[in-house]
Amino acid sequence: MRHYEIIFLVHPDQSEQVPAMIDRYKATIEGKEGKIHRLEDWGRRQLAYTILKIHKAHYVLMNIECNQETLDELESAFKFNDAVLRHMVIKCKHAVTEASPLIKKDDDRPARDSYEAPAKATADAPAGDASETPADNDNSDTDAGTKTDSDSEAA
């Protein structure tokens, strides 16, 4: 049996049906003594160019080991399924089981911190604190009549 890498693109309106399609293709492969070494659902992604006025598609990657009869059956299933926009089959020398670079890149990305809105001081302050005036909050250590170092440098 030979090793193949298969990528197929599914119409974005049919994204809900992708798990059922994957199960159907898995059953076809495993029913004919084939093996699936890697199966990755990349989800909806931007296309490099429009296909049938569509800008996004649902991507699926499979690395399989099967005979020619099974591969022919899979390719005919891709061709006659209107939801599959494009498919590509590449013959490989050996089985690929490690995660694809696309998945590795997503795993290496650090998790984002959730956004926390700053609390508004006026809304959270109790009504009794309203007696403070802005002049009370002035933290300047200089008097109006004394010169600072920056004032003397400017003169």
pLDDT digits (tens, 9 = 90+) for 125-154: 555 555 555 555 555 555 555 555 555 555
**DSSP 3-state assignment of 110?**
coil
Q: Which residue has the higher pLDDT, 118 or 24?
A: 24
HSE value, Cβ hemisphere, 13 Å, CA-based, for 73? 15
For residues 99-112, give the mean pLDDT. Answer: 65
Q: What per-residue confidence (pLDDT) applies to 148?
A: 56
Q: Which residue has the higher pLDDT, 123 or 34?
A: 34
Alpha carbons 151 and 155: distance in angstroms, whole number: 6
Q: Which residue has the higher pLDDT, 132 or 100?
A: 100
Q: What per-residue confidence (pLDDT) applies to 7?
A: 94
Strand stretches in the chain, DSSP E: 2-10, 35-51, 54-66, 84-92
Backbone torsions φ then ψ of 31, nearest 5 degrees: -70, -20
**Architecture of the domain delimited by 2-92:** 2-Layer Sandwich (3.30)
For residues 81-91, give the mean pLDDT. Answer: 93
For residues 63-77, give the mean pLDDT. Answer: 93
Q: Which uninterrupted H or E stretch holds 52?
A: none
pLDDT digits (tens, 9 = 90+) for 13-69: 988 999 999 999 999 999 989 999 999 998 899 999 999 999 999 999 999 999 999
Least Cα distance to 78 among 1, 3, 9 occurs for: 9
Q: What per-residue confidence (pLDDT) applies to 74?
A: 93
pTM, whole model, 2 decimals?
Answer: 0.63
Q: What per-residue confidence (pLDDT) applies to 110?
A: 61
Structure letter (DSSP) for residue 81:
-
